[in-house]
Amino acid sequence: MIQVFCNKRGSGKTKALISMANEKVANTKGHVVYIDDDRRHLFDLDRNIRFIATDAYKLKDYNCLYGFLCGIISEDYDVDTIFIDGLFNIVRGDIKDAAHLFFDLEKLSQENNIEFYISVNHEDIEVPEFIKKYVA
């Protein structure tokens, strides 16, 4: 399952994502991972959540991010939820070019029974059709 939260910058997406992650870790048997582009929100998350700041990994494009996610999953088979805060802050690129990433994430989600929660800084009306089906 993939759920995307779209709205303009400063609308409270991160706060909602952090709250969901903290709730999820309290109500799941699996592991929860929270991915962000920096460490600003490290102390807002429950200590049982695996926090990863991508600024040290220099993820250049959607393929790098997909490989990064596969590495996380292959390292820990108990991961059942991944939060990605600010997808287009982590990976630079045009939102219209992200279709292949979302196709791959859907397959990854189904094959490994992992839920993805992703925030993007775009208004709902600006989001391409391939993302709209995941918008909450």
More confident residue, 65 or 42: 65
pLDDT (0 to 100) of residue 123: 61
Q: What is the pTM of this model?
A: 0.92
* DSSP code, position 92: -
Give the mean pLDDT of the chain.
89
Domains and CATH numbers, the chain: 2-132 (3.40.50.300)
- In angstroms, the CA 102 to CA 58 distance is 20
Q: Mean pLDDT throughout 26-53?
A: 93
Q: Report CA-CA distances (Å) from 58 to 73, 75, 95, 111, 125.
A: 19, 20, 19, 27, 30
pLDDT (0 to 100) of residue 30: 93
pLDDT (0 to 100) of residue 67: 95
- In angstroms, the CA 60 to CA 56 distance is 12
- Asked whether 83 and 21 are in contact (CB, 8 A), the reply is yes
- Asked whether 86 and 119 are in contact (CB, 8 A), the reply is yes
